[in-house]
Amino acid sequence: MKNYYDILGIAKTATEEDIKSAFRKLAHKYHPDKKGGDEKKFKEASEAYAVLSNKQKRSQYDTYGSAHAGGQGGARGGFGGFDFSDFAQGSANFGGQEFDLGDIFGEFFGGARDGSAGRARGRDISVDIELPFREAIFGTERRMLIAKMSSCWDCEGTGAKKGTKRATCGSCNGKGNIREARNTFFGNFTTTRTCPRCQGRGQVPEHECNTCKGQGVAKREEEVHVVIPAGVLDGEMIRMPGRGEATSGGIAGDLYVKLHIKADKTFAREGHNLLTVLHLKLTDALLGGEFKIETLDGGVSVSVPQGVAHGELLRVRERGVPYGRGSRGDLLVRVDIQFPKKLSRKANELVAELRKEGL
């Protein structure tokens, strides 16, 4: 005799919810339409659920065993009296008794017991913006006109002519979706899709809007305000949810703004730091001193020590890239000593004296 409790992995004291939960897990695991499914185990679990989920059948099974729980009339549908031919109605038949599987198999076939379906989604849009180096460091704003499908400005997205009403959709009876039978390995299953007539709204206009022809969306130029934060990187993408194209009866897609940053002649970026070059004469490098340099915030004075080396980095605090809450990187100044290609007679004599001193 088959032990239906062992097949579902539950105790004899299991509640209706325990039985349903156990079967749901096994059905998802062994369903033949899924990769790695097991038809035999799926049938056994389904047969066990058919009996234990029915109070009368469960009572008969607990008293007499599986031979009596199936009821009269013998086997149907290929195993133990379990008939999948009724799945199109959201139920299955075992020994003349029906039980509801709509909430269990809804995940497999995209439907749900209440007939709800996922809303349509508009197309995503991608645009490119070129930024000067300074604006990428400190942030900026852009306003641009984009031609796209938008909510109809005339009917405000209802699809109905102003002053007219909307009526219940006759195709879906106001539900917004249509249930359809799907033929699978085990018979017909019920699936749900958005009503093509009302686009999931459940209502249709009595008189269509002249601008959008009842669709609720129309193509037009729309101004988009883009806020670009400080410290963005070249190639970075800004996502603006719901600012893409609208669609009839659904939700709008997203707008993606790709940033292209122009190279700067004076500054480069390294993480949160900025890099620049200070060109020094040989004598200035030997003697050191205060030298004025330009930053993105204006001119500052940088102290160069005596005998600074070629390629040495000098640090100017908090003149780099803004990040976090009020924090900034540094400006790194690379020393570029410009050696003379030719020396005058006097300069040669002076250098010769320096050589004698071991410099």
Side-chain half-sphere of 17: how many Cα atoms within 13 Å? 0
Cβ proximity of 328 and 320 under 8 Å: yes
One-letter identity of residue 14? A
List binding-site positions.
Answer: 152, 155, 169, 172, 195, 198, 209, 212
Q: Which long-range contacts (CB under 8 A, 24 or more apart) does 102-110 make?
A: 102/190, 103/20, 104/20, 104/23, 104/24, 104/27, 105/27, 105/189, 107/28, 108/28, 108/31, 108/33, 108/34, 108/189, 109/182, 109/189, 109/190, 109/191, 110/191, 110/192, 110/193
Q: Which stretches within the chain are classed as H helix?
A: 4-8, 16-30, 39-52, 55-64, 66-69, 102-109, 133-138, 282-287, 345-356
With tokens 């640090």, the residue in question is: 315
Distance CA 47, CA 33 (A): 18
List % helix, strand, coil for the chain (3-state, nearest 5): 25, 35, 45
In DSSP terms, 97 is beta-bridged to 94
List binding-site positions for Zn(2+).
Answer: 152, 155, 169, 172, 195, 198, 209, 212
Q: CA geometry: angle at 212 spanning 252 and 177, to 5°?
A: 60
Cβ of 100: how many Cβ atoms within 10 Å? 13
